[in-house]
Amino acid sequence: MTMLNQKIEAALNKQLNAELYSSYLYLSMSAYFQSINLPGFANWMRVQAQEELVHAMKFYDFINERGGHVMLQQVEGPPKEWSSPLDAFENAYKHEQKVTGLINDLVNLAAGEGDHATSIFLQWFVTEQVEEEASADEVVQKLKLMGDASGGLFMLDREMGQRVFTPPAASAEG
């Protein structure tokens, strides 16, 4: 087994922390939505938090599988309040764009280091980020379209309450 080089190991550990932060952020958003009586929005964010935890564990497992050392760091506390559902989802969308940038930086690092196994591992995240950005932006666009129509907000809340967490299928790599 080829061990991870130090640069790649450090970068993957940093991304593991970023994915844990993402989970915290969405859990905090879920609590915010719960506090303003939008249980469907709270459910959507809770499912998102679970997905981010799965992403974190993919990094955790990959680092271990490659003979690296997982180095858990303190996870920064996320914001607790947003000015509106739209504000929360605009923040979620911006956050996903930031994560896409972090994943792209990792892809570039792996390519520059000639680490093909890490490059292949990261391709799943490249594809996943397209979906993550699109799903957050879809809600942003619906909320903008709705404007101040509270009836629309409650209809969307009901729709978002239907989202369920689906763990990813076991991959060939483990």
User: pLDDT tens digits for 15-58?
Assistant: 999 999 999 999 999 999 999 999 999 999 999 999 999 999 99
Specify if 13 maps to a domain. yes
169, part of any domain: no
d(CA 23, CA 4): 26
Q: Is pLDDT larger for residue 95 or for residue 168?
A: 95
Contacts of 22 (CB under 8 A, 6+ apart): 52, 55, 56, 95, 99
Q: How many domains does the chain have?
A: 1
Residue 165 inside a domain? The answer is no
Over range 68-86, report the average pLDDT.
97
Residue 107 belongs to domain spanning? 6-160
Asked if residue 41 belongs to a domain, the reply is: yes
Q: What's the CATH number where 94 sits?
A: 1.20.1260.10
pTM: 0.93
- Report the share of the chain in percent with pLDDT over 90: 90
Average model confidence (pLDDT) for the chain?
94
pLDDT of residue 99 exceeding 60, the answer is yes
